[in-house]
Amino acid sequence: MEERMSGFCTTKAGRGGSSGNNYASGTKCGRWNPTIEQGKLLTDLFRSGVRTPSTDEIQNISTRLSFYGKIESKNVFYWFQNHKARERQKRRRVSVDEKDVMIRRDDKFSSARYFTEIGQVNEREQVIETLQLFPLKSFDEVESEKFRLQANECNEAAAAFSYKFGTEMDRPQLDLRLSFL
């Protein structure tokens, strides 16, 4: 029995906002907030192609992540659901805006600027979803970038993760899901 403080309340959670800030302010307890490690790992999984993990996978991931702080499987479930939805939503919006710009282009600020500002705009997600095995260095959003920057030591976490994933689990790997895609 280990009663770590990590988890819901204590929130040392660092999830950046938009301006490269990770808050550690007194967050109110009540809802789960990923710790940096958890966020990093989740993001990695996402970037690896995981989009809609099965119940079992969710369970596994959750178990794994619980090492870094309190977490429930539903949190994992929601995380992926939201992350995926928002990636799409963003993509959708951006692309339309982009179109608008094209149409009404003021020529003052060309589209190039937009792409840079808005970030990676048009990427085929299906492809990514199945071939992401090779990190294409195309993080989905600025967030991941921040995570990566502010938490390099998390690599160890990733390592541990992979490790455990391959040992104490009955299922092969998270890669397994890729096989039935």
User: Which residues contact a second copy (rule: CB under 8 A)?
Assistant: 10, 14-19, 30-31, 55, 58-59, 62-63, 66, 72-74, 77, 90, 92-94, 96-97, 100, 104, 106, 108-109, 113, 118
- Letters for 106-145 (x = contact with DNA by CB under 7 A, - = none) are -----------------------------------xxx--
Nearest to DNA of 33, 60 (CB atom): 33
Pick from 84, 148, 164, 171 the residue near DNA by CB under 7 A: 84
3 — alpha (psi -120 to 50), left (phi > 0) or beta? beta
CA angle, corner 148, sides to 164 and 163, nearest 5?
10
Other Cβ atoms within 10 Å of 158 Cβ, number: 14
How many residues in total does the chain contain? 181
Interface with DNA includes 33 (CB under 7 A)? Answer: yes
Output DSSP code: residue 109: S
For the bound state, the minimum distance from the C-beta of residue 108 to a second copy, rounded and expressed in Å, comes to 5
Nearest to a second copy of 22, 151 (CB atom): 22
Output phi, psi for 16, to 5 deg: -60, 155
Token couple for 141 = 């959003």
